[in-house]
């Protein structure tokens, strides 16, 4: 213990005497000094009362000084210690001198002359002489590398602890031998409902952490064989009984010499549900929840493989709802969706559990009938019976949102494997049969036949020829005069498209007009018709063959043309470039245009009427919606369809329809014209009903431009 009268020691300093002089004091222990220097340890001596400090060459090297060079001046030892550590070092020295901390090594940093910092460990012992003088002897060693490793280890442990406790995943440390919990984090508490205090010292088995013990056995077996477990799916159980799917990883861990296991568990229940939902959506239709095309292809592939091993057949029924688009366009998509869901329910109620009902999109459905036994004729009969049952069931009336609806199906059938051995071939041939069913009048059933393939190929050739026809100049316009029976004057003409095929000669419009519409070529071809007709009419006017005040040029407009967003601008452009008086152009529209989008239709018609263009409703009376929309449409004339005119003099029903149309037109202030007039008796009947404008073979068939010019010239003369 230090005497109370002792003064505090002066700050240690390095004296100006050479280390050799210090080593001279160790002459009695040369081997010890050599050992110290060899071990890179420095020896030091401190006379506490005088404050004099000296040390060996090894110590001088540890202070960053050249051990071979004598010191030229004294260096304050305390100044080598960074400012922030000096106070702590002095307190430790004073504690040693007071006898409170004797034997404890000091650890602190010093700054070398080059500015680098190094860790030193200084140890020594305090000795008291008989005369009361105090002095210390000791050694110094560089512990910089040990300290760096210790700091790195401490930082690593801190990071581990931070990651352990802040991880959203459940992390546990258990003894490998006993399986008892040593540590758990808050993620574990969230996952299981157990707090740290409740589980430390207990096992997962005691707490029923795992819902299925056999899964834990598999996990432990995997750990024993592979040394670790990575991303194994298991079922964990919350303390309230809820079972959650978790992804588990296990790694061996040495903890203070004890063999432990580090387990990480992540709740993947919601992830799996989301993946299952994505998987479901990838293979199912969102509206009806039926298998979609992708799943149908999978099942078809499986069925084809199965049929190769067994003497059985299957059948593919391709179903399309007739005129379904009319429902969407007139009543809206919500009603259309409700119809599709009801159709789905009817289909599923009809087929067997082993069969598949799929929706390919829009109003297209497919039924896969599986495991049909018997000869081909017997299977064909079975399939036709099912198809007929479906046809009748789907055609039953529906009441949806106050609307009474009836939807009929067209059905195409392909037998498996008779009509194909790949999903693509089978779908293609069932689709071909469906096309034939629709072409035969709809609400029909057709079984694929090889001759149908020929028809489809012919249709494809026709479409390709039509694509080339416009560029090659194969189209031309014919004109059918429109006459006022009261004075016999030609008051207009309908422009009609004709096609002169280079190999097959003149083609019937009934053959190619529908193909133009279905393929979309009608947009380009219809634009050509409108442009050519306007320019021709302008030439007729310039040649004084027609009267601008009384003559109307009638041009048919297809639904696809009318739906073009810039249709109004296209018509205005034709009138502008041809310089045809706008009032001479009359566009003939059909019910197909009206029911697509009544608001869009009316809007475009009103914009064109501002340009002076007029409208005629073609084929009036043949569609179920004409009367519904007529009052809203800004039409100028109704055109009585030739199907009513043909038998008007012999069929009281047709005669009655014509009278009703005439009365309706009169009440709405609309003009009238009848088409397809071929006999004088028909014209007489029409005039008796106050319908005086007509066109038909009675006056002239459609003729090319030259013949039409001649007809007009002859008529005017």
Mean pLDDT of 491-518: 92
Q: In degrees, to the nearest 5, what angle opens at C-alpha 282 toward C-alphas 277 and 286?
A: 75
What pLDDT was estimated at residue 15?
43
pLDDT digits (tens, 9 = 90+) for 674-717: 999 999 999 999 999 999 999 999 999 999 999 999 999 988 76
Q: Give the pLDDT band (50/70/90) at residue 14.
A: very low
Higher-scoring residue by pLDDT: 422, 328: 422
What pLDDT was estimated at residue 19?
58
What pLDDT was estimated at residue 500?
93
pLDDT digits (tens, 9 = 90+) for 628-637: 677 788 999 9
Would you say residue 314 has pLDDT above 90? yes
Q: Give the pLDDT band (50/70/90) at residue 23.
A: low
Contact 639, 616 (CB under 8 A): yes
> How far is residue 449's CA from residue 439's CA, in Å, rounded to a whole number?
15
> How far is residue 28's CA from residue 44's CA, in Å, rounded to a whole number?
16
Would you say residue 101 has pLDDT above 80? no
Would you say residue 155 has pLDDT above 60? yes
pLDDT digits (tens, 9 = 90+) for 104-126: 788 889 888 888 999 999 888 77
Percent share of the chain, pLDDT over 70: 91
What pLDDT was estimated at residue 445?
96
Give residues with Cβ within 8 angstroms of 314, minimum separation 6. 303, 307, 368, 369, 370, 371, 372, 415, 416
Kind of pairing between the strands at 445-447 and 409-416 = parallel
Least confident span in 30-34, 197-201, 704-708: 30-34
Mean pLDDT of 512-540: 93
pLDDT digits (tens, 9 = 90+) for 464-496: 999 999 889 999 999 999 999 999 999 999 999
Mean pLDDT over the full length of the chain? 87
Percent share of the chain, pLDDT over 90: 60
Contact 199, 224 (CB under 8 A): no
Contact 489, 469 (CB under 8 A): no
Distances (CA, A) of 650 to 564, 653, 685, 694: 42, 9, 11, 19
Domains and CATH numbers, the chain: 13-149 (3.30.450.20), 167-272 (3.30.450.20), 284-448 (3.30.70.270), 475-716 (3.20.20.450)
Would you say residue 584 has pLDDT above 70? yes
- pTM of the model as a whole: 0.53
> How far is residue 316's CA from residue 697's CA, in Å, rounded to a whole number?
48
What pLDDT was estimated at residue 153?
73
């Amino acid at each position: 213990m230090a005497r109370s009268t002792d003064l505090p020691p002066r700050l240690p300093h390095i004296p100006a005497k050479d280390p050799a002089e210090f080593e001279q004091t160790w002459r009695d222990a040369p081997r010890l000094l050599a050992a110290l220097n060899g071990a890179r340890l420095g020896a030091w001596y401190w006379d506490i009362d005088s404050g004099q400090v000296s040390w060996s060459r090894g110590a001088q090297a540890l202070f960053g000084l050249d051990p071979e060079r004598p010191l030229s001046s004294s260096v304050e030892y305390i100044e080598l210690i960074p400012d922030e550590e000096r106070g702590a070092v002095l307190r430790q020295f004073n504690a040693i001198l007071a006898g409170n901390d004797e034997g404890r090594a000091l650890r602190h940093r010093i700054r070398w002359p080059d500015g680098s910092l190094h860790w030193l460990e200084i140890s020594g012992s305090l000795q008291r002489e008989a005369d009361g003088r105090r002095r210390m002897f000791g050694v110094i060693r560089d512990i910089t590398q040990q300290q760096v490793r210790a700091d790195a280890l401490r930082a690593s442990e801190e990071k581990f602890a931070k990651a352990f406790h802040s991880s959203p995943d459940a992390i546990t440390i258990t003894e490998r031998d006993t399986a008892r919990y040593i540590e758990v984090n808050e993620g574990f508490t969230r996952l299981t409902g157990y707090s740290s205090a409740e589980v430390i010292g207990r096992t997962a088995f005691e707490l029923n952490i795992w819902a299925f013990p056999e899964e834990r056995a598999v996990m432990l077996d995997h750990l024993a064989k592979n040394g670790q477990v990575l991303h194994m799916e298991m079922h964990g159980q919350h303390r309230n009984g809820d079972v959650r799917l978790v992804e588990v990883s296990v790694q061996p861990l040495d903890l203070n010499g004890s063999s432990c296991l580090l387990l990480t568990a992540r709740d993947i229940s919601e992830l799996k549900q989301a993946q299952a939902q994505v998987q479901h959506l990838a293979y199912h239709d969102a509206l009806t929840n039926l298998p979609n095309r992708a799943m149908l292809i999978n099942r078809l592939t499986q069925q084809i493989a199965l049929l190769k091993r067994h003497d059985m057949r299957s059948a593919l029924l391709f179903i399309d709802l007739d005129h379904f688009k009319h429902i969407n366009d007139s009543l809206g998509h919500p009603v259309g969706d409700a119809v599709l869901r009801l159709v789905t329910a009817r289909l599923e109620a009809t087929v067997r559990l082993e069969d598949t009902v799929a929706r390919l999109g829009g109003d297209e459905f497919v039924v896969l009938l599986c495991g049909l036994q018997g000869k081909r004729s017997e299977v064909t009969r079975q399939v036709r019976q099912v198809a007929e049952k479906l046809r009748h069931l789907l055609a039953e009336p529906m009441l949806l949102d106050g609307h009474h609806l009836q939807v009929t199906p067209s059905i195409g059938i392909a037998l498996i494997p008779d009509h194909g051995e790949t999903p693509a071939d089978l779908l293609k041939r069932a689709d071909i049969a469906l096309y034939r069913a629709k072409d035969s009048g709809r609400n029909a059933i057709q079984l694929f036949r090889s001759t149908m393939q020929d028809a489809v190929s012919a249709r494809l050739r026709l479409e390709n020829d039509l694509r080339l026809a416009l560029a090659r100049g194969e189209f031309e316009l014919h004109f059918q005069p429109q006459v006022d029976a009261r004075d016999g004057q030609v008051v207009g003409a309908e422009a009609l498209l004709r096609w002169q095929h280079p190999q097959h000669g003149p083609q019937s419009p009934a053959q190619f007009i529908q193909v133009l519409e279905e393929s979309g070529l009608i947009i380009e071809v219809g634009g050509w018709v409108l442009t050519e007709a306007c320019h021709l009419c302008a030439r007729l006017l310039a040649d004084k063959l027609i009267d601008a005040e009384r003559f109307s040029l009638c041009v048919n407009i297809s639904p696809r043309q009318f739906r073009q967003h810039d249709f109004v601008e296209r018509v205005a452009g034709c009138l502008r470039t041809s310089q045809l008086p706008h009032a001479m152009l009359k566009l003939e529209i059909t019910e197909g245009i009206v029911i697509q989008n009544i608001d869009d239709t009316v809007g475009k018609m009103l914009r064109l009427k501002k340009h002076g263009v007029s409208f005629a409703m073609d084929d009036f009376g043949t569609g179920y919606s004409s009367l519904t929309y007529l009052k809203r449409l800004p039409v100028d004339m109704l055109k009585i369809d030739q199907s009513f005119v043909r038998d008007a003099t012999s069929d009281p029903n047709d005669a009655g329809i014509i009278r009703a149309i005439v009365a309706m037109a009169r009440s709405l202030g609309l003009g009238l014209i009848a088409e397809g007039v071929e006999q004088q008796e028909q014209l007489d009947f029409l005039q008796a009903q106050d319908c005086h404008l007509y066109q038909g073979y009675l006056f002239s068939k459609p003729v090319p431009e030259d013949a039409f010019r001649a007809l007009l010239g002859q008529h005017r003369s």
